[in-house]
Amino acid sequence: MPSFLKEFFKRNGVGMGSVMLGLVLFWTIGLIILPQLSMLDFSFRPNLPPPEIGGPKDVYTLENYKYLIYGPEGGSQDYNAVDLRVFFRTLVAAVCVTVFNLILCYPIAYYLAQTKGNHIRIFALMLIIPYWINEILRAFALRIIFGETGVLNNLLVGMGLFDTPFDFIRNDIALYAGLGYAYILLMIFPIYNVIESLDRNQIEAARDMGASWPMIHRRVVIPYAKPGISSGCTMVFMLSAGALAAPQILGGPSSLWFTQLIYQQFNDNSDWPQGAAYAVVLLVTCILLVLAIMRLFKVNMGDIGK
């Protein structure tokens, strides 16, 4: 038995350790790895009627992946411009949502971590309570707020800032705001958990030496909070790129999300192999982007797991 397992069972006991290990393995293998492998297998299969599945025509093929790049055979364009445009726009939008959340949440996380008092608990509770409501209901609430006759437009028109209501839905402002709001806690609390352990004496020492607040954050706080920042950015980016409810409810007519294409392939077109191929491409691309950014900023997987 490996030494880390011996230490694990020694700390938790054989019974409890076996239960915990079994649950982790069930979660990892049964609910993550096996479904993804099944999805990967589907992506290489042709779309056949049920009676022909498993027959001589049911062989592995790359056609589902070629469709994303080249579109249907005999199409009017050399490339599948529509789907590729939606794919890259989804990734860029997910990056923008992640950067927006980081800029918004870093000061909040720093304030929560470095300020003491009961009012901080109340502030944290006010952040958490809205997330007791289902994500779909929150998305519909945001649609009401950002609608042409919604609260925000009524306020702006009433203040005289706009003569006519502004279409926040069609301009994707509601969508990006909804995505940023949906995952704000996933950015705040990883950063908060790291900054909370930062010794305030380091900040005071930097201030005594004449460092400005921007320099203190750039040289002291941000390098120390890098694991929390990496963890928060990873979760927000992956979930934003894979979001479905917010784009469906808050997206305008021209803001098609790549997950909506996947949904259409699975449910509207009943083309599970094509939908699986699109899902695999999105998953692999997001993982490669995250790994590339981690390498660029010199962050390893152990930092994210802290």
- Specify the length of the chain in residues: 306
Chunk the chain into consecutive blocks of 10 residues (it has 306) and report each block's average pLDDT, rounded to whole numbers. Answer: 74 84 91 92 88 80 91 74 92 94 94 84 86 88 89 89 87 90 92 89 87 89 90 93 91 85 91 94 94 81 63
Quote the pLDDT of residue 35.
Answer: 92
User: Is the CB of residue 168 less than 8 Å from the CB of residue 152?
Assistant: yes
What is the C-alpha separation between 53 and 75, in angstroms, rounded?
27
Q: Three-state SS for 12?
A: helix
Q: φ, ψ for residue 194 (rounded to 5)?
A: -80, -50
Q: What is the crossing angle of helices 81-114 and 226-241, to 10°?
A: 150
Sign of the C-alpha dihedral computed for residues 136, 144, 179 and 175 taken in this order: positive
Quote the pLDDT of residue 64.
Answer: 92
Nearest Cα neighbor of 184 from 133, 222, 240 is 240
User: Is the CB of residue 146 less than 8 Å from the CB of residue 174?
Assistant: yes
- For the question of whether the overall pTM of this predicted structure is more than 0.85, the answer is yes
Distances (CA, A) of 238 to 101, 148, 243: 13, 30, 9
Quote the pLDDT of residue 304.
Answer: 62
Quote the pLDDT of residue 5.
Answer: 76
Contacts of 45 (CB under 8 A, 6+ apart): 58, 60, 61, 64, 273
Q: What is 98-127 written as a DSSP string?
A: HHHHHHHHHHHHHHHHH--SHHHHHHHHHH
Contacts of 69 (CB under 8 A, 6+ apart): 79, 80, 84
Quote the pLDDT of residue 43.
Answer: 93
125-129 contacts: CB < 8 A, separation 24 or more?
127/184, 127/185, 127/188, 128/185
Quote the pLDDT of residue 229.
Answer: 92
Quote the pLDDT of residue 279.
Answer: 95
